[in-house]
């Protein structure tokens, strides 16, 4: 009897491929889901919207178990609730926009990245404009506000979405692939390729995403544009109030009137965006992601496939 128990335990933990996937199936042992979390106190972030130039006030509030992240447009006559889920995402260039029952909220990816990476699962985000503020182009203001408010554990498990088969979307130019995990949590490798004839060039970054890795390595990396892209946006009357101090605008020699926070800040920001986009599934993702020149659209397309094909573990299971 002891032998049977021992064998079954070894069977579950057995990892003959040293964590490598075997015929697309993961050979690692999945940890039990962690507890859900929310904010201990409300948090406040203010700033100007990139697209409108208007002042925006964002309040992050604690929210109940299983409620997820919800945006609330408080400026509308009847405040609209917009769940932060990929099923409400509408295609818009250069940012992530959610729409529910006629109400929209724009530029949600940087607050979503901060909440997901710091594992704040349930949160009400009250915003008094149609877009979140650009701040300095990164997630830093959100991380600082969340850390100042504190994070509180809740008495329910956070469901995991585990990648069990290789899934790839995109084409030869730009693609993203999810593979079964070799260890707990979400890991990624991102290739950024702007070609050789500009100051951004090629950058690659590999990381395991944890709250501290996000705080130290990704949160402060900023949105970037080539000057030609910024000029085009302005010619369309867009983002006219955003300056070279509000994000990175690259000329031939590097960022204009600005200093890089990391030599490879651009690829770090692409990784931040990826984390924010993948947060729109509402699960802890367990898998390895390899991305080549992807953006918001492909990230969302991959997530939709994973929501169909991935394995959900710990859904709504109460732990206390």
Residue 223 beta carbon to Zn ion: minimum distance, rounded to whole angstroms: 5
CA-based nearest residue to 298, from 163, 172, 120? 172
Residue 264 beta carbon to Zn ion: minimum distance, rounded to whole angstroms: 15
Q: Kindly report the CA angle at 222 between 113 and 90, in degrees rounded to 5?
A: 50
Residue closest to Zn ion, measured at CB: 273
- Annotated catalytic residue within 13, 88, 296, 315: 296
Full DSSP string of 107-132: --HHHHHHHHHTT--BEEEEESSSB-
Name the 3-class secondary structure at 205. strand
Residue 138 beta carbon to Zn ion: minimum distance, rounded to whole angstroms: 8
Is 292 known to be catalytic?
no
Residue 273 beta carbon to Zn ion: minimum distance, rounded to whole angstroms: 4
Q: Kindly report the CA angle at 30 between 25 and 34, in degrees rounded to 5?
A: 145
Q: State which of residues 131, 273, 277, 284 lies at the interface with Zn ion (CB under 5 A).
A: 273
Phi, psi of 285 (to 5 degrees): -85, 135
Query: Residue 176: beta bridge partners?
Result: 169, 291
Identify residues 209-268 at the interface with Zn ion (CB under 5 A): 223
- In whole angstroms, give the CA distance from residue 161 to residue 86: 14
Identify residues 160-189 at the interface with Zn ion (CB under 5 A): none
Q: Strands 175-179, 202-209: parallel, antiparallel or unpaired by DSSP?
A: unpaired
Cα 129 to chain center, whole Å? 21
User: Does 277 engage in binding with Zn ion (CB under 5 A)?
Assistant: no
Residue 204 beta carbon to Zn ion: minimum distance, rounded to whole angstroms: 18
109 in Cβ contact with 296 (< 8 Å):
yes
Residue 43 or 114 having the CB closest to Zn ion: 114
Cα 116 to chain center, whole Å? 6
Residue 146 or 162 having the CB closest to Zn ion: 146
The residue ranges that bind Zn ion (CB under 5 A) are 223, 273
> Where in the sequence numbering do the catalytic residues fall?
296
């Amino acid at each position: 009897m002891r032998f049977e128990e021992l064998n079954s335990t070894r069977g579950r933990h057995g990892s003959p491929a040293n964590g490598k996937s075997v015929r697309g199936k993961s050979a690692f042992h999945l940890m039990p889901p962690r507890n859900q979390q929310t904010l201990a106190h409300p948090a406040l972030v203010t700033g100007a919207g990139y697209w409108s130039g208007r002042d925006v006030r964002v309040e992050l509030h604690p929210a109940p178990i299983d409620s997820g992240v919800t945006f609330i447009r408080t400026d509308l006559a009847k405040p609209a609730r917009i769940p932060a889920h990929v099923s409400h995402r509408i295609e818009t260039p250069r940012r992530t926009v959610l729409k529910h029952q006629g109400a929209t909220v724009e530029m949600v990816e940087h607050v979503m990245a901060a909440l997901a990476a710091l594992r704040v699962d349930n949160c009400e985000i009250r915003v008094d404009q149609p877009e979140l503020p650009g701040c300095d182009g990164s997630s830093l203001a959100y991380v600082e506000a969340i850390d100042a408010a504190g994070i509180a554990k809740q008495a329910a498990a956070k469901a995991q979405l585990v990648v069990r088969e290789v899934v790839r979307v995109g084409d030869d130019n730009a693609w993203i692939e999810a593979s079964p995990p070799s260890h707990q949590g979400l890991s990624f490798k991102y290739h950024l390729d702007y070609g050789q004839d500009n100051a951004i060039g090629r950058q690659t970054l590999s990381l395991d995403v944890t709250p501290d890795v996000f705080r130290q390595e990704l949160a402060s990396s900023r949105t970037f544009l080539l000057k030609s892209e910024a000029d085009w946006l302005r010619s369309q009357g867009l983002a006219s109030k955003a300056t070279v101090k509000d994000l990175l605008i690259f000329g031939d020699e590097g960022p204009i009137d600005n200093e890089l926070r990391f030599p490879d800040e651009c690829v770090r920001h692409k990784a931040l965006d990826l984390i924010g986009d993948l947060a729109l599934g509402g699960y802890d993702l367990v898998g390895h992601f390899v991305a080549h020149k992807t953006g918001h659209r492909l990230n969302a397309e991959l997530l939709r496939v994973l929501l169909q094909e991935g394995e959900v573990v710990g859904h709504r299971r109460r732990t206390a």
